[in-house]
């Protein structure tokens, strides 16, 4: 399952959003996921993906923004863990 699919699962399950509305360009606010709900969503993302989401997050306006943000966090944290294990 890719990042989009995992996020879609969270959004459909937790926020009762229909899958067909979860297009990359769909604005989270238009889907009823306001700023407070995004903060709650980020906690669910931490649990689902086993990553840490910084408190100084970027602007997450669309579903695509969210997918890209999570992918970048995963890549960054994998890279950081590999560097730490290598002793650099």
What are 11-64's pLDDT values in tens digits?
999 999 999 999 999 999 999 999 889 989 999 999 999 999 987 767 899 999
Half-sphere exposure of 68 (CA within 13 A, CB side): 10
Considering its fold, how many domains does the chain have in total?
Answer: 1
Confidence of residue 1 (pLDDT cuts 50, 70, 90): confident
The CATH number for 43's domain is 1.10.1200.10
pLDDT computed for residue 35 by the predictor: 86
Residue 64: domain span: 3-86
pLDDT computed for residue 49 by the predictor: 94
């Amino acid at each position: 399952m890719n990042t989009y699919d995992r996020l879609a699962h969270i959004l459909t399950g937790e926020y009762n959003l229909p899958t067909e509305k979860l297009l990359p360009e769909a604005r989270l606010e238009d889907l009823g996921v306001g700023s407070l709900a995004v903060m709650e969503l980020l906690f669910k993302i931490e649990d689902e993906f086993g990553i840490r989401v910084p408190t100084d997050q970027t602007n997450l306006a669309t579903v695509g923004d969210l997918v890209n943000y999570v992918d970048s966090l995963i890549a960054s944290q994998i890279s950081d863990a590999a560097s730490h294990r290598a002793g650099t």
